[in-house]
Amino acid sequence: MPKPLLRVEELNKTYLLGKQRVAVLRDISFTVGQGEFVAITGASGSGKSTLLALLGGLDQADSGRIFLGQEEISKLNEKRLAVLRNRRIGFVFQSFHLAPSLNAFENVAFPAELAGDREAAAKAERLLRRVDLWPRYGNFPSQLSGGERQRVAICRALINTPSLILADEPTGNLDSAAAALVLDLLLQIKDEYGVTLVMVTHSPEVAARAGRVIRLSDGRIAA
Ligand X SMILES: Nc1ncnc2c1ncn2[C@@H]1O[C@H](COP(=O)(O)OP(=O)(O)O)[C@@H](O)[C@H]1O
Q: How far is the CB of 96 from ligand X (least distance, A)?
A: 17
Stretch that binds ligand X, among 45-53, 74-82, 104-112, 126-134 (CB under 6 A): 45-53
Q: Which is nearer to ligand X, 44 or 142 (CB)?
A: 44
Indicate which single residue of 6, 39, 48, 198 sits in contact with ligand X (rule: CB under 6 A).
48
Does 50 participate in binding ligand X (rule CB under 6 A)? yes
CB 25 within 8 A of CB 51: yes
CB 88 within 8 A of CB 163: yes
What string of DSSP letters covers 164-199?
Answer: EEEEESTTTTS-HHHHHHHHHHHHHHHHHHT-EEEE
Q: Which is nearer to Mg ion, 46 or 160 (CB)?
A: 46
Of 99, 53, 92, 55, nearest in space to 185 by CA: 92
Among ligand X, Mg ion, none, what binds residue 50 when CB lies within 5 to 8 Å by partner kind? ligand X
Indicate which single residue of 8, 41, 46, 49 sits in contact with Mg ion (rule: CB under 5 A).
49
In a 13 Å sphere around the CA of 52, the CA atoms on its Cβ side amount to 28
CA distance 141 to 67: 34
List contacts with ligand X (CB under 6 A).
15, 17, 24, 42, 44-50
List contacts with Mg ion (CB under 5 A).
48-49
